[in-house]
Copies of this chain bind each other. A is one copy, B any other.
Amino acid sequence: MFLSDCQARLAFDLISNTWNAVVLWSLRHGPRRPADLRAEIGGISAKVLTETLRRLEFNGLVTRQAYAEAPPRVEYELTALGRSLLEPIGVLGEWAFAHADEVMAAQDEGPARKL
């Protein structure tokens, strides 16, 4: 059962933090500054965005580049590894668009029997 092994768990853990997936997706067209990411994503605080970017960097999915300008400029960019995760994220996103209302309908319907 490949899904119960350690490697698969790691992948599901990475994608399980929705912000990870959202931020990776926002970087798909190239390097971005944190302020631009915040503006595009919406609903993410500066603190949570910073934590997310550091987590992605720690996992080898993005790189951080600081430019010694005045004012200093920082950009984040997908690594090849981070780019490779766009496909699974895209497939799951497409599934969500196609099927999320079926899930919500099932939830509204409530359990067929007592939990």
A101-B22 Cα distance, complex, nearest whole Å: 23
Question: Which residues, 28 to 71 on A, are CB-close (under 8 Å) to B?
Answer: 40-44, 54, 57-61, 64
Q: Among B11, B57, B105, which residue has its beta carbon within 8 angstroms of that of A95?
A: B11
> Which residues of A are interface residues toward B (Cβ below 8 A)?
1-4, 6-18, 21-22, 25-26, 40-44, 54, 57-61, 64, 81, 84-85, 87-89, 91-93, 95-107, 109, 111-113, 115
Q: Say whether A7 contacts B107, CB under 8 Å.
A: no
On whether A100 and B7 interact (CB within 8 A), knowing A88-B95, A95-B85, A107-B60, the answer reads yes
Q: Say whether B2 contacts A13, CB under 8 Å.
A: no
Q: Say whether B4 contacts A42, CB under 8 Å.
A: yes
Q: Write out the residue numbers on chain B whose beta carbons fall within 8 Å of the beta carbon of A96.
A: 7-8, 10-12
